[in-house]
Each structure stands twice: as structure tokens, then as C-alpha cells.
Amino acid sequence: MNETATAPPPATSAPSDEEKKWALFAHLSILVGGLVTFGWAASFGSFIGPLIIWLIQKDKMPFVADQAKEALNFGITLTIACFVLLMLTIFSLGIGALVTIPAFMVIGIAALVLVILAAIKANEGVAYRYPITLRLVK
């Protein structure tokens, strides 16, 4: 995973209250996607909300576009990590679950904490960068 986080773009002006709300929604939509898809598959729906917000707002609100793209990249990273753990469990005929179930728990708790931190920062108008995130959408 790419551990060198790219710096957020320089702020040309402070984000408006509407931009802050949309950015907040982009981050929180990761959790909503996780709740909608339930259980172990929670990460598989985590990138849909940020993707929709990014596609809608990318040309209108630069701060929202940046934060939605960041949330989208984090959601994709979560999906990839959970898919790899799922494949490890399947290919090991369930024996790998001794490792993957605790790993799923750690990923879930870390994702919850990081999304809450990102949402708080976005609500303050500060660009947030998730650690250990693949930056696939540029």
C-alpha cells in the first residue's frame, strides 16, 4: 500500500458550509455503505457513496471533489484488503479464518476510527488524508 500520502491541494479559499457538509457526507457514506452491505461484506459497499458524491460534485466544488476522491480511494483500499482476506480464508479451506477473522476486526475498527476522524476534519473545512491508502483515483 502507498504509505506516502500526497499533500492536499492548496486551499484557494475556505470551503463554504455546503462544501463542508458534502465532504462530511462523502466520508460518512463509507460507513453507510458498510451498514447496507452488512457483516463481513461491509467493505464491499464502502466505496459506492463516495463515488456517487465525487461524480456529482467533482466539477462544482473543489474541496468536496478532493475529499470524496480521498474517501473513494480509502473505500477501494478497504474493499481490496477485505477481498484478499476473504480469498485467503476460502483457499485455506477455512483454516485461514484463525488469522483473517481477527484481521477483519482490526480493519473494521481502524476504518471506523479513521472515517470518524476524516468526517470531523471535513466538517472543520480541513482536507484529510487517510494513512495507508492506495491512491488509485487521481
Give 69-101 pLDDT, tens digit per residue: 999 999 999 889 988 998 999 999 989 899 999
Contact 77, 35 (CB under 8 A): no
Side-chain half-sphere exposure of 87, counting CA atoms within 13 A: 6
Contact 8, 122 (CB under 8 A): no
- The kind and range of the H/E element at 65 are helix 62-91
Nearest to 111 by CA among 92, 133, 93: 133
Place of cell 457526507: 25
What is the chain's Cα-based Rg? 15
Between CA 119 and CA 27 the distance in angstroms is 6
Between CA 88 and CA 92 the distance in angstroms is 6
Contact 33, 53 (CB under 8 A): no
Nearest to 115 by CA among 78, 71, 77, 72: 71
Confidence (pTM): 0.83
Domain ranges, ordered by start, for the chain: 17-123
Contact 132, 110 (CB under 8 A): no
Higher pLDDT, 37 or 109: 109
Q: How confident is the model at residue 127 (pLDDT cuts 50, 70, 90)?
A: very high
